[in-house]
Amino acid sequence: MDANIRREIILDNYQNPKNRGLVENDSDYVVVNSNNESCIDNLDIQYKIQDGVLVDIHFDGEACAISTSATSIMIRSLIGKTVEEAKKILENYEAMIDEREYDADLLQELNVYDEIYLQPNRKKCALLPFESLKKVFKQLNL
Amino acid sequence: MNREDFEIFNTGVIYFDNGATTMKPKQVVDSVVDYYTKYTANAHRGDYENSLKVDTEYEKVREKVQKLIHSEKKEEIVFTAGATDSLNRIVFGFMKNYLSEGDEVLLTKAEHASNILPWMRLAEEIGIVIRYIPLPEKNEVSIENVLKSITDKTKVISIAHVTNVLGDVRPVHEIGEICQEKGILFVVDGAQSVPHRVVDVLKDHIDFLAFSAHKMLGPTGVGVLYGRYDLLEKLEPTTLGGGMNASFLADGEYELKSIPSRFEAGTPNIAGVIGLGSAIDYLLEIGMEIIQKYEAELRKYLLNRLSEIPNVIIYNQDIESSNIAFNLKDVFAQDTAIYLNHYHICVRAGNHCAKILKDELHVANTCRISLYFYNTKEEIDQLIEVLKKSEDIFKVIL
């Protein structure tokens, strides 16, 4: 991916992230807190999962450009997907960050982080929203 | 000053994270290497030459620390693993027996985790009450607020001499006098003060003092617990084993060694203690007053230069300190730190282990520049140059 396009997508998602701000007083949503143990990112991500589909996702909190943009792009990528599809994306995304083989077509916009391994101290930032996705699946036994 | 003694600066690094740890001069490194290559032996044990030399060198450091912090007796100096270890020993080895349910301990919300969490656990265990001295103006501790916070249940005041986020200097002398007058024990976290200024436990009526070697040019993993002798007599060793007992019998009876040996169970961090001794020699050779004065000048210069950059927000402008806590407008602290790292400039981003200070500061995360005597105006100029072109920050970090 062209470096300028990559940067533009990340920056746009950092400065105008998708669904920032939590939905209040709606028991259909489950909130999961994610904080990066090695730094200071601290995000609450809120999931509405119905009939095996990720119907809606919101987030709030303070985090760096990589974590925030990755959360925004994750939200864009997962809304409307089934739990099974989301798990596939999760698996391939983690593989990409860890420099293992992965299906780039499946990840679409999430491919902007395909060179994050060049900055090893940022890997955790890129993985942060997906850690919360894992947590929510575990919490709901999905 | 003295940059030639620090080999690490040949790598081109600009190090502004001295509140976290400091660089080591050749003299300190050499003293540690000498112990490992010329006279390795255990302490307090053998009858051979090297062992005696180790004993002598190790005990000499106690006298150096005594001189540094102006304590009455060298036996009042206990070597620990660091300031955190020292504070935990004060809380669980002494306060746990000394305090009772309902007794109040005064802290502030700007304290480091190691001066809050042990107290929180003690509150859970024996029901002491933690109260916080308010920090209204510039987040500083005022005598007025100390006096207002004291009740007839206040038994301990435990605060940092210099805080690690904002670097403000507390009026320990006045607080020490109040404590003495009211029969309150005064515990001081000296991790950020002992490396930078004169500390005088006698003059300031400090009952317990904790600090770490690695923040004052010394090795990691070693620190000091100072305690007034009559208080150390009531301190329970929290670790038991070799080197701290005078005798023990199968029926469970045992006798402790004298103070301070009873607090140094197991083989001590001999290399660390020797390195600390060399660090103290180094600092006293320059002079603590000179270090303090130089850092104040350097900070003034840094503040002046930062004022040239409109999008820099400073959180501790008008206080005496060698730290600057700042953010770039609309940039997350960590992104700023990562940006500076691209230019080999090391600053710390975060809450700096003072996770409840945000209640007072109304901002969770900041970048912290913490200066030391080896920093220079030229380094500051380089920082300013990089901050001035920070409008392209996302081009650099993304």
Min mean pLDDT across B237-241, B249-253, B299-303 is at B249-253
Say what angle helices A123-139 and A65-78 make with each other, to 10 degrees.
40
How would you classify the pairing of strands B154-160 and B104-107? parallel
Closest CA to B82 of B186, B200, B210: B210
Instruction: For residue range B39-65, list pLDDT tens digits in order.
Output: 999 987 678 989 999 999 999 999 999
* Contact at CB, A64 and B394, closer than 8 angstroms: no
Rg (CA), chain B: 22
Domain assignments of chain A as residue spans, ordered by start? 3-139
Predicted pLDDT of residue B136: 81
A63 touches chain B (CB under 8 A): yes
Mean local confidence (pLDDT), B19-33? 98
Residues of chain A with Cβ-Cβ distance to B395 below 8 Å are 7
Contact B349, B108 (CB under 8 A): no
Q: Is residue A3 very low, low, confident or very high in pLDDT (cuts 50, 70, 90)?
A: confident
Q: Is residue A38 very low, low, confident or very high in pLDDT (cuts 50, 70, 90)?
A: low
Which of B268, B285, B302 is the endpoint of a domain? B285
Cis (ω within 30 of 0) for the bond into B260? yes
Q: Is residue B356 very low, low, confident or very high in pLDDT (cuts 50, 70, 90)?
A: low
Residues 19-48 of chain B with CB under 8 A from chain A are none
Distance CA B140, CA B315 (A): 12
> CA of A110, closest CA in chain B: separation in Å?
14
Q: Is residue B246 very low, low, confident or very high in pLDDT (cuts 50, 70, 90)?
A: confident
Which range marks the domain in which residue B268 is found?
26-285
B350 touches chain A (CB under 8 A): yes
Min mean pLDDT across A4-18, B9-23, B190-204 is at A4-18
* Contact at CB, A41 and B351, closer than 8 angstroms: no
Which residues in B71-86 are b (16+ Cβ under 10 Å) and which e?
Answer: beebbbbbbbbbbbbb
Q: Answer whether residue A91 shows pLDDT above 80.
A: yes
Mean local confidence (pLDDT), A59-76? 93
The shortest CB-CB distance from A40 to any of B349, B397, B398 is to B349
Q: What is the largest CA-CA distance in chain B?
A: 73
Average pLDDT of chain A to the nearest whole number? 91
CATH classification of the domain holding B132: 3.40.640.10
| DSSP codes of every residue in A93-131 | HHHHHTT----HHHHGGGGGGTTGGGSGGGHHHHHHHHH
Say what angle helices B270-286 and B26-38 make with each other, to 10 degrees.
150
The shortest CB-CB distance from A10 to any of B338, B351, B398 is to B398
Residue whose token pair is 């036994």: A141
**ipTM attached to this prediction:** 0.79
| DSSP codes of every residue in B166-183 | S-PBP-HHHHHHHHHHHT
* Contact at CB, A65 and B394, closer than 8 angstroms: yes
Residue B367 annotated to the active site: no
Close Cβ partners of B396 (under 8 Å, ≥ 6 residues apart): B339, B342
Which of B265, B285, B305 is the endpoint of a domain? B285
Q: How many domains does chain B have?
A: 2
Q: Is residue A51 very low, low, confident or very high in pLDDT (cuts 50, 70, 90)?
A: very high
Residue whose token pair is 């000499």: B60
* Contact at CB, A62 and B365, closer than 8 angstroms: yes
B77 found inside a domain: yes
Average pLDDT of chain B to the nearest whole number? 93
CATH classification of the domain holding B372: 3.90.1150.10
CATH class of A3-139: alpha beta
Q: Answer whether residue B358 shows pLDDT above 70.
A: no
> CA of B352, closest CA in chain A: separation in Å?
10
Nearest residue on chain B to A121, alpha-carbon basis: B338
Residue whose token pair is 């599809």: A85
